Amino acid sequence: MSRQPFHHGNLRAELLERAEAVLRERGVEKLSLRELARDAGVSHGAPRSHFIDRGALLDALAERGFDRLAKAVEAAVRTLPKDSRTDFGLLRAAGSAYLDFAAHNPDLAALMVAAKADDTSRPVHDAALRLFTTMTALVTTALSPRFNDRETAERLTLLLSATVQGICSLMTSGRISATQGDALLDDAIHVFIAGAVSNTP
């Protein structure tokens, strides 16, 4: 009945939770396995049982980031008022969710982008694909009158994702303000829709 049971029982989850907070509040540089262990009241070697190394923890964070972002995008689209459910409105809502996520979790967003698709980081890549699937469904819904083949949908989604992601980077790196980012997103979606129309067979 010790208050600190030998088996923490929840260490992995707690480390991730705490790591996300550190990431938000102090950045990747300051994220240390040893400090995480200390804060969890566990020895410095303990995290090793859950994450083979620091990179594995970062990968796990990126993976969770992609899933959270996908959920945020889905929620933004779902809660969109009926009169805003135009093609533009839908894509704009998704893009905004993206930007908000990046603005509130800049270092996590950077981690997600940086995470290489190694053999070891397969879960990260899969999570990125899940987000891509969400985005593809959305683009298909928004632009469905214009085309109906899946390949076109995926190419356009890739393009939109890249663009939105680029806007996020400009914002988080301070190249443009949040307001400018919002305006740029508007431009992006206008151009995207207009350009997609004239480039779709």
Secondary structure of residue 51 in the 3-state scheme: coil
Secondary structure of residue 200 in the 3-state scheme: coil
Alpha carbons within 13 A on the beta-carbon side of 192: 27
Q: Which is nearer to DNA, 34 or 175 (CB)?
A: 34
**Taking CB within 5 to 8 Å according to partner kind, which of its own copies, DNA, none is near residue 9?**
DNA
Q: Does 3 bind DNA (CB under 7 A)?
A: no
Give, as ranges, the residues between 14 and 53 that touch its own copies (CB under 8 A).
none
Q: Could you tell me the maximum CA-CA distance found in the chain, to the nearest angstrom? A: 70
CB 15 within 8 A of CB 57: yes
User: Rg of the Cα trace of the chain?
Assistant: 20
Secondary structure of residue 49 in the 3-state scheme: helix
Number of residues that bind DNA (CB under 7 A): 23
**Taking CB within 5 to 8 Å according to partner kind, which of DNA, its own copies, none is near residue 19?**
none
Q: Map 89-111 to HEC letters.
A: HHHHHHHHHHHHHHHHCHHHHHH
CB 22 within 8 A of CB 30: yes
Among 13, 21, 162, 178, binds its own copies (CB under 8 A): 162
Give, as ranges, the residues between 21 and 80 that touch DNA (CB under 7 A).
31-35, 37, 42-46, 48-50, 52-55
Binding-site string for its own copies from residue 97 to residue 136, where x marks contact by CB under 8 A and - marks none: -------------x--xxxxxx------x--x--------
Number of residues that bind its own copies (CB under 8 A): 41
From CA 199, how far away is CA 157, in angstroms rounded?
Answer: 14
CB of 47 to DNA, least distance (A): 8
Residues that bind its own copies (CB under 8 A): 110, 113-118, 125, 128, 155-156, 158-159, 161-167, 169-170, 172-176, 180, 183-184, 187-188, 190-196, 198-199
Judged by the rule CB under 7 A, the positions of this chain that interact with DNA are: 6-9, 11, 31-35, 37, 42-46, 48-50, 52-55
